[in-house]
Structures are given as C-alpha cells and as structure tokens.
Amino acid sequence: MTLYELKEYVKAICLAHEDIKDFYIGSSYNEAEDINLTYPLVFYELPYFIGYNLSPRSQVDVVQFAFNVFIESNSDKIQEDHDAISRAKEIGDEIVTYILTNQSYFVVSSITAISVREFGDDSVAGMRFEWTVQLPRTTCDSDFTMFDL
C-alpha cells in the first residue's frame, strides 16, 4: 500500500461517515483559510513520519500520520469549544473503530489523540488523531533490478 493509497483509504472512510461533510489535506490548517469548507470535516496532515526497519529483508515500514476532526465553534466561548471537542472525539472514535474493525491493509501499532483549537477565517475545535501503523513496502526488489550498475 502506498502513502497515497493510505490517504485515499482514510479519506473514503471519513467521507462515508454520516457527519463528515468535507476532507482537506495539507501541512497547516491555516492554509484552509481561503477555501470554503463545510463542517464537521477531517483535516489530513502532512508530513508523514517514516521509520525504516534497517534489516535488509524487512518489507515493512513504520508510518506515522495524523488527521483532525474539526467542528466549527465560537472562539469567544470556551464551552462551545469544549462541546465541539467532545463531539469531534465521538466522530473520531467511530472512524477509528471502523478502521480497526474493517481494514486489512496495514497493522495499527498505536493511536493517540489530543484536543485542538484552530483560529483562521473559521474558528474550529476538535481532536487530532495520530496513528502509527506498519505498512508493507511497495517496492522490495531484492535483486536490485532498478539500478543500472
């Protein structure tokens, strides 16, 4: 499975959730300021963090990625932020549970979550879910035919 396929898989699951209205990918949520987005949404973060197994025969990489579930709130009212964070956790829990129950493309090593608030054109709050997965390498050519040496 490639990183693109991983992102597309997560995107498909997130957009299939009845509450998620949009999916956005980028390195900083502030980039979303000039885009008309509909909430609740999932923001899939870049970059990826990849840990290589140094064994020459290993065909698995450890990949870390994160996505946020964001809900619009009022930055002046902490209770609205808290309500948005609570609802985002519920939605995220449903997405996490669905993926853990139904996927067979990778092995999930761990998932952590932290509450977040973002301020741009939109004031949003939610949860950031950071995943560590073992992803099969897509190119493991043991006879090195890709090199013209």
Domain boundaries along the sequence of the chain:
3-136
- Across the chain, mean pLDDT equals 87
Please, are residues 46 and 27 in contact by the beta-carbon 8 Å criterion?
A: yes
Q: Over pLDDT 70: what percentage of the chain? A: 84
Q: Is 41 exposed, middle or buried (0-12, 13-18, 19+ CB in 10 A)?
A: buried
- Structural tokens at position 125: 């709050």
Please, are residues 72 and 55 in contact by the beta-carbon 8 Å criterion?
A: no
**3-136: CATH superfamily:** Phage minor tail protein U (3.30.70.1700)
Please, are residues 45 and 26 in contact by the beta-carbon 8 Å criterion?
A: yes
Alpha helix positions (H), the chain:
3-16, 78-102
- The pTM score is 0.86
Task: Please say if the pLDDT value at position 101 is more than 60.
Answer: yes
Reported confidence tier of residue 110, pLDDT bands at 50, 70, 90: very high
Q: Is 25 exposed, middle or buried (0-12, 13-18, 19+ CB in 10 A)?
A: middle
Reported confidence tier of residue 32, pLDDT bands at 50, 70, 90: low
Question: Which residues are 131's β-sheet partners?
Answer: 65, 111
Task: Please say if the pLDDT value at position 31 is more than 60.
Answer: no
